[in-house]
Amino acid sequence: MKRVLVLFLFINFNITGYNQIIRGTILDRKTNSTIYFASIYFSGTYIGTHSDQDGNFELDISKYASMPLTISALGYYSVTLTDFSFSDPNIIYMTPKVFDLGEVVIKGKSLASRRKNNLKLFKNAFLGLTQNAGLCKITNENDITFNYNSDKDTLKAFASKPILIENRALGYRVTYFLDKFELYKRKNSFQFTGNIIFNEDLTSEKSQKQLFETSRRKAYLGSRMHFFRALWSNTLDANGFTIKNPVNLGLYYKNIVIQEDSLLKCINYSNKLGICYNSTTPTSYIIFLGKKVCFDKNGYFDPLVIEWAGQMAKLRIADWLPYEYSIDN
């Protein structure tokens, strides 16, 4: 009997240690009312859940414990959590989105051509201009609106609902919660922020499976995810990468990487970092906005402290893969 009890306690201890369950309630910051069917997820993955009719949720975060948790809901700005409690329920407040409807609502047929042009500019920046982008479709374009009456140089896009994307190049259906989109015409630059969750893998369609797998491999090689995974494992050379400083001198792993903890490493480097992929000169660049950028073994990195230039900057939503992707599959 004692042996059985000890065995039970050992199994229970290991299950508890492996599962990292967080619980919480989602509330409106202004009204303090509960938010039903909010999405709680790890951006860039399939992992997530929804709040119930009382705004409550629970989620096992053990698989992506090094990543921040994102909460999104219709009509609210997304919330990112990097610190939460495992012992007590987490209370999470969300701020409602406020749009100036006088700017973003289309009035009259005369604006149809302007909308068509703005939508093209939006999709070119948001999805990208690669071959994969040409095979992506936003299935709810009518939920995207633009500013027509403010600064003519800056195009702002607003999404009243999450943007639904069908990627027929890589075989995914995804949802993107857009928080901000601005395109500056004179500077020919743009920025957008938000979070993405992968909803469905279309490789179940056997006739397309091999094509999707080939396209995914091509999208992965030389990507940001590929680079950070190779950097984590200190296998840049084996994966075709070299890194260089602004005067084109080679750098090494030990020059720029520090161990933050068991789950995270950081690039501790302040200059512009050149990334060469199967080349002797940089094809992409990282510009650091902070003192360091942390990343994990899955290829996750903090996107808010980095700017990209070169080839990797061209890889947008149409070329993104979920963190569950493995080239060895």
Query: Number of folded domains in the chain?
Result: 3
Residues 78, 14 share a domain: yes
> Residue 19 has what pLDDT?
62
Lowest mean pLDDT across 106-120, 211-225, 231-245, 284-298: 106-120
* Residues 152-196: tens digit of each pLDDT: 788 999 998 999 999 999 999 999 999 999 999 888 889 999 999
Residue 328 lies in a domain: no
Residues 38, 15 share a domain: yes
* Residues 6-20: tens digit of each pLDDT: 333 333 434 444 568
Residues 183, 227 share a domain: no
> Residue 13 has what pLDDT?
38
Amino acid at 318: A
User: Domain ends where: 172, 204, 236?
Assistant: 204
Burial class (CB in 10 A: 0-12, 13-18, 19+), 121: middle
Residue 10 lies in a domain: yes
Residues 191, 255 share a domain: no
What is the full DSSP assignment across 65-118?
Answer: TTSPEEEE-TTB--EEES---SSSPEEEEEPBP---HHHHS--SGGGHHHHHHH
User: Domain ends where: 94, 122, 151?
Assistant: 94
Residue 54's pLDDT band, with cuts at 50, 70 and 90, is very high
146 within 8 A of 104, measured Cβ to Cβ: yes
> Residue 83 has what pLDDT?
87
Residue 215 lies in a domain: no
pTM: 0.88
Residue 329 lies in a domain: no
> Residue 329 has what pLDDT?
62
Residues 119, 54 share a domain: no
Q: How much of the chain, in percent, has pLDDT values that exceed 90?
A: 74
Residue 1's pLDDT band, with cuts at 50, 70 and 90, is very low
> Residue 120 has what pLDDT?
95
Residue 13 lies in a domain: yes
* Residues 102-148: tens digit of each pLDDT: 444 545 556 788 889 999 999 999 999 999 999 999 999 999 999 86
Residue 70 lies in a domain: yes
Residue 37: CATH number of its domain:
2.60.40.1120
Residues 199, 115 share a domain: yes
Residues 170, 88 share a domain: no
At residue 58, the 3 state secondary structure works out as strand
Residues 58, 30 share a domain: yes
* Residues 273-297: tens digit of each pLDDT: 999 999 999 999 999 998 889 999 9
Residues spanned by the domain of 242: 221-319
Residues 186, 116 share a domain: yes
Residues 192, 120 share a domain: yes
Residue 327 lies in a domain: no
Residue 113 or 29, more confident: 29
